[in-house]
Structure 1
Amino acid sequence: MKIIAIIPARYASSRFPGKPLADICGKPMIWWVHNQVKQVKEFDSVFVATDDKRIADVCDSYGIKYLMTSNDTPNHIHRIWEVTNMVDADFYISINGDEPLISPENIRQVFPEKPCSQAYFGSVYRTLKDPAELLDIANVKIVLGEGGKCLYQSRNPIPCPKGSLFVEYKKAIGIECFNKAALDFFVHTPMGYLEKIEDIDHLRFIENGIPIIYKEIQSESLSVDTRNDLEKVRLIISNRMK
């Protein structure tokens, strides 16, 4: 099987403009993410997908392969789909460009066992233990059925217990594996009712009967959403370099 890694990198972030180029111990964030991803030797290639020349120029300077995508993609899945029109592969694994500490082992968890002619979408989750994380609408909660098949996703805590039953909540993590059939389906299918309500693009698959298969990971890396997050990552990497 040919499996490639795609790191979507957007310059025009509303909360943190230029985030992929933020300095971390002398190198841009995108270098650190790429450095972690390329440790997964099972990948045939690793590409940064960007719509910004500044990011492309930095990739060039570090010898990082990149692909230029359009600047009007509505979400990262569309950006990955554009890559399928440039590079042929059996599977495309998307890794967030703001996770410079991402674990190579966590990435390996989404690798499929065999090629699939039908639409395929696999991802990972971890169990939530902090009540604050559970109530944070930025964290997408999932419920799973047999074989890790996702039944539903919501920004609210699900499932909702009746009485005082203990419930184990699961959070979707942004490491995703698609084949071209799944990406074609997503791009050519209109947004559904539930997707509009929850503002969760994965629901487009679920609403139309396309399964999302999840595997568990024990931990997740710190994503850089704010400048405070950046300082935390700088401290962690600085300590590792000592």
Structure 2
Amino acid sequence: MKIVAVIPARYGSSRFEGKPLADIAGSPMIAWVYKRVARSSKIAEVYVATDDQRIADACQAHGLNYIMTSPDHRSSTARVHEVAEQVQADLYICINGDEPLIDHRDIEAIIPETAPGTGLYAANLTCKMGSPAEVIDSTNIKVVFDETGRAIFFSRSPIPYPKSALHFDYFKHVGVLAYNKAALDYFVGRSRGPIETVEDINELRFIEGGAPLQMVVVEPSKSLSVDTPKDLREIIDIVREGGLTP
């Protein structure tokens, strides 16, 4: 099974412009993510998918494979689809470019035992949330799934609502997803539905269309997502104190 990892990277951001190029111990954040993903022996190729020449230049300077993609994409999934049009693989893993301390073993958890074949295959990592503050934070995308692990719904609101009981394990979406080409074709072939539009959650395109999306439960990661300059400073402190390298 040939597995290709894709790290979508945009320069523009309302909260942190130029985030992929933020310096961490002498290397841009995108290089940290790339090199940690590349530690996996199960992944054949890694690509940064970007529409910005500054990010492309940084990739070239640090020896990272990259593909220039259209600036018109509204989602990371559509950007991965463009890569899949150029690079053949049995499975494409989409990894957020804002987790510089990501563990490649967490990424490997989403890889199925056998190649998914030609039928639609899509999967998403999920983990338990550890505090009420996480549950009510709208930046954490909550998910509920059935006994087989198939996603039922995603929301920025707490789901399910705790009407009759307060003791419940709430799960959140983790920014590592896997698709075969059929799933990527399905995604770009459909328009945003009304629920996806309201919630602004890409994965709802599968739910609204009745397509299966398999959730894979992992332990809560020690990796931190960089959404703001404050988050970056925290990462830099962790790297400095731990003597970490990409």
Bin of the TM-score, shorter chain as denominator length = over 0.9
Alpha-carbon deviation of 1:12? 1.2
One-letter amino acid matched to 1:228: K
Residue-by-residue CA offset, 1:213-233 (whole Å, 9 max, x unaligned): 111111222011000000000
| Residue pairs, 1:37-52, within 5 angstroms | 37-52=37-52
Is it true that 1:210 corresponds to 2:175 in the alignment? no
Alpha-carbon deviation of 1:87? 0.4
Alpha-carbon deviation of 1:193? 2.0
Partner of 2:195: 194
Q: Secondary structure at the match of 2:49?
A: strand
Residue-by-residue CA offset, 1:46-103 (whole Å, 9 max, x unaligned): 1111111111111111111111101111110110010011101111101111110111
1:222 to 215, 221, 224: 224
Partner of 1:148: 149
Is it true that 1:32 corresponds to 2:32 in the alignment? yes
TM-score (norm 1): 0.97
| Residue pairs, 1:1-80, within 5 angstroms | 1-80=1-80
1:237 to 226, 236, 239: 239
- State the identity %: 47
Alpha-carbon deviation of 1:165? 4.5
One-letter amino acid matched to 1:109: A
Alpha-carbon deviation of 1:113? 2.0
One-letter amino acid matched to 2:186: F
Alpha-carbon deviation of 1:154? 1.0
Q: Mean Cα displacement is larger for which, 161-170 or 79-88?
A: 161-170
Structure 1 runs of 4+ off > 4 angstroms? none
Q: Secondary structure at the match of 1:230?
A: helix
Q: Secondary structure at the match of 1:48?
A: strand
One-letter amino acid matched to 1:178: Y
Q: Secondary structure at the match of 1:157?
A: coil
Partner of 1:179: 180
Q: Distance in 2 between matches of 1:193 and 1:98?
A: 28
Q: Mean Cα displacement is larger for which, 145-154 or 168-177?
A: 145-154
State the superposition RMSD in angstroms.
1.2
Q: Distance in 2 between matches of 1:187 and 1:3?
A: 20
Structure 1 unaligned regions, length at least 5 = none
| Residue pairs, 1:92-107, within 5 angstroms | 92-107=92-107
Alpha-carbon deviation of 1:161? 2.9
One-letter amino acid matched to 1:152: F
Residue-by-residue CA offset, 1:110-168 (whole Å, 9 max, x unaligned): 11222221111111111112111100111111111122111111111111233235211
